[in-house]
Amino acid sequence: LQKNGSNIKHWWIAHHYISMMAAVFMLTWPSSPSYTKMAKLIHLFGLYMGVAQFFQTRYQLARLYTLRSLGRASELDVSNSDSTQIHWSRGMNALLPIIIGGQLFQGYVSLTLFRYVAFLFFISIQIHKAA
């Protein structure tokens, strides 16, 4: 993308590589007690993010339509945080709780996974001390 003139940010490229690694991890995670404990929660989080992205896309399309009708954007412009300002409308009032809920849900999933990994690490240390 950078070679054809896109001004894609480096963090966006890194985000895609991390997402690919996470997808490979989920696809190759063997069926085990850890998988059964975390898979449902992680898949539910993915479903929630899909719904949040749907609402965010609807908001961005509405903002871009508004900017086009005011003559501030052309037909080929895309809506992003660099080119548009937050416009408090019904769409934003509906979107904000969804985004905040997603952040809280992500924190819960992260904390649950961390606690589970820490528990397994603690158990493995106890086993090695006993041996």
**Cα distance between residue 108 and residue 31, in whole Å:** 23
pTM: 0.68
**Cα distance between residue 26 and residue 20, in whole Å:** 10
124 closest CA partner among 47, 34, 38, 12: 34
Mean pLDDT lowest for which of 42-46, 99-103, 104-108? 42-46
Q: What is the mean pLDDT of residues 1-26?
A: 78
Q: Residue 26 has what pLDDT? A: 81
Q: What angle do CA 112, 31, 45 make, to 5 degrees?
A: 40
Does the pLDDT at position 52 exceed 90?
Answer: yes
Q: How many CB atoms lie within 10 A of CB 34?
A: 14
Mean pLDDT lowest for which of 10-14, 83-87, 93-97? 83-87
Question: Mean pLDDT over all residues of the chain?
Answer: 81
Residue type, 119: F
User: Which one is predicted more confidently, 128 or 1?
Assistant: 128
Q: How many CB atoms lie within 10 A of CB 35?
A: 13
Per-residue confidence at 12, pLDDT binned at 50, 70, 90?
confident
Does the pLDDT at position 87 exceed 70?
Answer: no
Two tokens, residue 110: 């992260």
Residues, the chain: 131
Task: Say if residues 75 and 84 touch (Cβ distance below 8 Å).
Answer: no
111 closest CA partner among 20, 16, 41, 29: 41
Two tokens, residue 128: 């090695």
Does the pLDDT at position 80 exceed 70?
Answer: no
